[in-house]
Structure formats: structure tokens, C-alpha cells
Amino acid sequence: MRLVERAAWGAPATSPAAYLPSARGVKVHYLGSAYSSRAHSLCDDYVRKIRAEHLANAKENYVDIAYNAVVCEHGYVYEGRGLHKRTGANGNAELNGRDYAVCALLGSSGFTEPPDAMLAGLRDAIEWFRANGAAGDWVGGHKDGYATACPGAPLYAWVKAGAPRPGGTGGGSDGEDQYTVRAGDTLSGIARRLDLDWRELAKVNGLSEPYTVYVGQELDLPESGGGTQAPPYPGRSAFVLGRRHQAVTDLDRQLVRLGFTRHHDGNGYQPGPLFTAYTRRNIADFQRSRPELSNDPDGYPGPVTWELAHTLRR
């Protein structure tokens, strides 16, 4: 776990919040406001801003940041009130005494799809409360037992699935082209071991400085020349505007790899399961770039678009 202790992000070392002997479990939250994806170097600032806003909230009369932990999109776990401290975030005194509260730096608009690194960080936080904070097995969302949209549909779906560590179970059909990060791994170490170029490995996975990888993260491996195979075409029903499908995330990764990311909501184009108008326009750009596809650039991937998106080298 990448824990950022209170003192490291600029809070007093110990929270003045009330003692919590044990908890039923952990409630997951999101910000519930607009948020944009940002470089990790700006995450500390944002956590400080949350604490300042909570301290300034006269109605709630908070003694500290309300959450026990905050997790950024890069998978770092910021110590909030921390272990054995009663949260202020769950809605009322009874709920605050029942469960810990962990908040994802995820918006209700802008940056709304939790990336795998964030899910791994949330999972780290949950396991931290269980192992060191006497939290029980229960895991839920803020909305469980309280009238709120928090933690938002994409994150709540993950919570209801049992808050699984990404890459641990289920999902992709392309296991042979992936590597699951283990404890002690670094990007350059993995690249060396698998005889790959680390820059290529970073590019395929959309990583930029500081090139951090997380235990449990699944890295897509760069294709090594000819003979690359696309996974089976999932069918047109996987690509419906406004609907989610794992194949959309997969295709998005190829669009990012190939550089077709011009259309986005202002916060950059991110792989995710939702087929949006941006997805469609980026796919249309890709189709226009290929002679095989350019006479029908409708933005909906058929078998040829699917195949080429997976097998073309940049």
C-alpha cells in the first residue's frame, strides 16, 4: 500500500477525532462535485483543500477532514482521520460510529470512471482498516442507509461486486498479453524481466511520470512485431451509445495506444466501459485514417475496425 501519512501531506500528525474501538466495515465515498484528472504532484494540494473546506464548514462543525482515508486516481492512500477514529462523513452520528469512511478523488462530473490504480488503492485502504483498525468484513457505499448519490454509479457497482482488487478475478480474455504487478515490482524491473522496452510498456498502458505501478495492477504488454492477434470480436451489441461493455474499455486502450484521443470532455480521453459520443468520434477518426474503413467512418466498430485497432502498430 502506498500510504501518505498525515504529516506528509500537511495535517497535524494525529487527528483530534473521537476514538473508534471497532467498526462493522468500510463505506466508500466520492467527491460528489466536478473533478478533473490531474498529475499526482497535485493530489496533496487537493487533499489539503478538502480538509480546509471541512474545517470551515460551520454547519457540520468538523474537527478534522471528515474521511478516514482519501484515495487518489494514482492509487495512493492519504491518511485522513486514520485508524480507530470516528468518521464525520457517513451522514449521522449512528452511521459515523458504525463504519469507516474512505473517499475516492472521483467526481460526479468530469473524472467519473475509477481507474484500476484507484480501485487498487481503495482496496488497500479497506484491507488496512481490516488489518489494523478492527474493521469487519462489511463494505458498502455512502448511499447504503443514507439518501445520497454517493459514491456514484461506476464506483458503487464496484462496491456491490465486493470491492474486488482489479486484475484479481474475472474480466479480460487477453490474459496472455498482460502482466499482473507483484510486490516490489517497478516498471523498469518488469520491462527488464520480460525483455521489453520500458518506454513502450509505459506508452501501451498510458503511464506517464512518475511511472508508478501498483500491486495487482494489470499491465498490457506491447505487441512484439508480426503475428499479433486481436481478441474475438464481441459483436455490434457491445457498442451502443450510453451503454457499458468491457470491450469498450479494451478498444479505448487501443485508441489511446494509436493516438486517436482528440475528442473528450475536456479532461483528456480515458479508457472506460461507457460508449460515449467521444468514443464514437475517436473511433470515426481511426476509421478515416485507414483505407479499408474510410468509406464508412460511422464510429461504430465492426470486425475489421476491431481487428485493425488491435493489430496495427503505432
119 binds Zn ion (CB under 5 A): no
Are 104 and 29 a contacting pair, CB within 8 Å? yes
Contact call for residue 202 and Zn ion (CB under 5 A):
no
Q: CB of residue 45 vs Zn ion: minimum separation in angstroms?
A: 10
Report the residue number, 152 or 271, with the smaller CB distance to Zn ion. Answer: 152
Answer for which of 142, 165, 253, 257 binds Zn ion (CB under 5 A) is 142
Tell me which residues in 171-190 interact with Zn ion (CB under 5 A).
none
Radius of gyration over every alpha carbon of the chain, rounded to an integer in angstroms: 21
Three-state SS annotation for 258-294: HCCCCCCCCCCCCCCCECCHHHHHHHHHHHHCCCCCC
DSSP-assigned letter for residue 85: B
Nearest to 255 by CA among 240, 236, 275, 237: 275
| Residue among 17 and 43 whose Cβ is closer to Zn ion | 43
Q: Cell numbers of 15, please?
A: 487527528
Which residues lie across from 138 on neighbouring strands?
25
Minimum CB–partner distance for residue 32 and Zn ion (Å): 6
74 or 123: CB nearest Zn ion: 74
72 near Zn ion, judged by CB under 5 A? yes
Binding-site member from 6, 29, 84, 123 for Zn ion (CB under 5 A):
29
Nearer to Zn ion, 9 or 239 (CB): 9
Is 143 among the residues that bind Zn ion (CB under 5 A)?
no
Query: According to CB under 5 A, which one of 40, 130, 244, 264 is a site residue for Zn ion?
Result: 40
Q: Which stretch binds Zn ion (CB under 5 A): 139-147, 175-183, 208-216, 297-305?
A: 139-147
Min CB(114)–Zn ion separation in Å: 13
Q: Which DSSP string corresponds to 210-270?
A: T----TTPEEEPPP-SS---PPPP--GGG--TT-B-HHHHHHHHHHHHHT-----SSS---
Which of 122, 150, 191, 215 lies at the binding interface for Zn ion (CB under 5 A)? 150
DSSP 19: B
Crossing angle for the helix pair 246-258 and 303-311, to the nearest 10 degrees: 50
String marking each residue 4-23 x if it binds Zn ion according to CB under 5 A: --------------------
Residues in 235-254 that interact with Zn ion by CB under 5 A: none
269 φψ region: left (φ > 0), alpha (ψ -120 to 50), beta (else) = beta
Interface residues toward Zn ion, by CB under 5 A? 29, 40, 43, 72, 74, 142, 150
